[in-house]
Amino acid sequence: MTPDIDTVTRLIEEVAAAEVLPRFRRLAAGEVREKGPGDLVTIVDEAVEACLATRLTALVPGSIVVGEEAAAADPAVLAGLSQHPRVWVIDPLDGTANFAEGRAVFAVMVAYVRDGRAVAGWIHDPVRGITATAAEKEGAWLAGKRLKVADAPAAPDEMTGTLLAGFFGARELGRRIQARRDRVRAKRSLRCAGHEYLRLAERAMHFCLFSRLMPWDHAAGVVIHAEAGGHGAYLDGGSYRPARLDADGLLLAPDPESWRALRDLLLGDD
């Protein structure tokens, strides 16, 4: 059974209103730190995750939480995705660097994972006061309207989207994609996976290629994108699973045909 979508939406919005917006552009120097090289965390990330973890697990007795900050403190937390049948995946503040810089491009993301599969997702934009939601076989919704991804253009080189391939580093796959980025109409990254998924769901672009695959960045967005009619898969063709972190990349496109055409355009041998 999937938790009630509206109940979870209200819960997320209440926590964001209490913990996120009051501190936006009001963080003190000691309230931001690095948990890793170039990886910021704020007191807001920690407060939101703690609040959501308590309230979400109360909705589904016996469920557990896999949160970004908990996993940063103890990577063993990630094992819960494959070992437990009911898991909440939380990104308490996606786009933390933007938030810390005072840029209004951040989101709170929650997904519900059942038996290893993401079956419901929420992406809340506190600044706009909107929440995109989806549940398996129930569609994706935003402000009472059903979401539908952009139709694929006639030719793959007419597709617009974001190529988040910087995390490939010096690997051959990354170099190949970077060398072919002019074959599509690449948009500038927003530095926030949640907002990239919102751009897909709101028909602002056709595709997105991610190389960083932490579950809190994608579990919610993949459900919303799929329920909005899109097609997403790892570059090797495998279906998305939150526990899988070893894939080379995750590609989202309007439909299976455009997904294959885009993959061939970016990874082809020519």
145 strand-pairing partners: 142
Mean pLDDT, range 123-146, rounded to an integer = 97
Q: At 127, is the pLDDT very low, low, confident or very high (cuts 50, 70, 90)?
A: very high
Residues 6+ apart with CB under 8 A from 132: 122, 123, 140, 141, 142, 147, 197, 198, 201, 224
Task: For 37-65, write each residue's pLDDT tens digit.
Answer: 888 999 999 999 999 999 999 999 999 99
CATH, residue 203: 3.40.190.80
Which range of residues forms the domain containing residue 20?
5-146
Distance CA 243, CA 232 (A): 16
pLDDT at 168 over 60: no
d(CA 205, CA 76): 36
In which band, very low, low, confident or very high, does the pLDDT at 104 lie, cut at 50, 70 and 90? very high
In a domain, residue 151? The reply is no
Cβ neighbours of residue 105 closer than 8 Å, sequence gap 6 or more? 95, 98, 190, 191, 192, 195
Q: Is 37 a member of any domain? A: yes
Written as six digits, the tokens of 159 are: 């597709």
Counting the structural domains of the chain, the total is: 2
Whether residue 117 is found in the same domain as residue 26: yes
Instruction: Count other C-beta atoms under 10 Å from residue 75's C-beta.
Output: 9
* pLDDT computed for residue 146 by the predictor: 98
pLDDT digits (tens, 9 = 90+) for 195-254: 999 999 999 999 999 988 999 999 999 999 999 999 999 999 999 999 999 998 999 999
Contacts of residue 165, defined as CB under 8 A and 6 or more positions apart, other chains included, come to 174, 177, 178, 181, 209, 211, 249
- Give the pLDDT of residue 269: 65
State the Cα–Cα distance between residues 68 and 63, nearest whole angstrom: 17
